[in-house]
Amino acid sequence: MRNLLFLCTGNSARSILAEAILNRLGEGRWRGFSAGSRPLGRVNPRAVALLEARGHPTAGLASKGWELFAADDAPRMDAIITVCDSAAGEACPVWPGHPLTAHWGMPDPAAVAGDERAAGAAFEAAYDLLHRRITALLAIPLEGLSPAEAKAAIGRIGEETPPGLAPAPAMPLPRPGGRR
């Protein structure tokens, strides 16, 4: 079983969606977690409604800080993927071990202004993009790759740009064993 932590700023939408998607698609091979640099303390209700509509369990999903996953008693992460760019430049915790890191930047569906239909479409688009990216992740034969090859393969997944959007800049991640 591999553990993957999805990071974002508020940990209320994108990272929550990714956690739920990975936990379903990973089925015993990967376990997903999520956290934020400045967690909002609540999961976005649209994210919960979408996950439930798509058949995902939502019990236990919570907005939490990333420091929980840097603690000595935290699950050891095999990979850490950031899904937003607004956390760029923030000091990250020191991650135990040497997890693979990647950036899969994407627009925040919770930031979409407009009517209910526009907001719903933004959440659907975020879910679909994360689903495609996580499906691609699960198809990588990591056992046969060096750490550098695995990091490059996982990173390439985040290069998929949603239609009509510029790619988000990468969030600097900590070097293994220290702060960036």
**Residue of 48, 81, 84, 100 with catalytic role:** 84
Is 145 noted as a catalytic residue in this protein?
A: no
Q: Which residues pair with 65 in a beta bridge?
A: 36
**Residue of 4, 7, 8, 80 with catalytic role:** 8
Percentage of the chain surpassing pLDDT 90? 56
Is 129 noted as a catalytic residue in this protein?
A: no
Q: Which residues pair with 79 in a beta bridge?
A: 4, 100
Output the average pLDDT for the chain.
84
**96 band by pLDDT with thresholds 50, 70 and 90:** low
d(CA 81, CA 96): 15
Is 92 noted as a catalytic residue in this protein?
A: yes
d(CA 22, CA 30): 7
**Residue of 92, 106, 110, 150 with catalytic role:** 92
User: Listing from the earlier edge strand, what are the strands of the sheet with 30-36?
Assistant: 30-36, 2-8, 79-82, 100-103
**22 band by pLDDT with thresholds 50, 70 and 90:** very high
Q: For residue 135, what pLDDT is reported? A: 95
Instruction: Decide: 40 and 16 in contact? Cβ < 8 Å.
Output: no
Kindly report the pTM of this predicted structure: 0.85
Which phi and psi (to 5°) does residue 6 adopt? -95, 125
d(CA 158, CA 83): 9
Q: For residue 115, what pLDDT is reported? A: 86
Q: For residue 14, what pLDDT is reported? A: 95
- CA dihedral (160, 133, 98, 7) in degrees, to 10, reads 90
How far CA 180 is from CA of 40, 45, 74, in Å, comes to 25, 34, 21
Burial code of 166-177, b = ≥16 C-beta within 10 A, e = fewer? eebebbbbbeee
CA dihedral for 102, 38, 108, 135, sign (positive or negative): positive
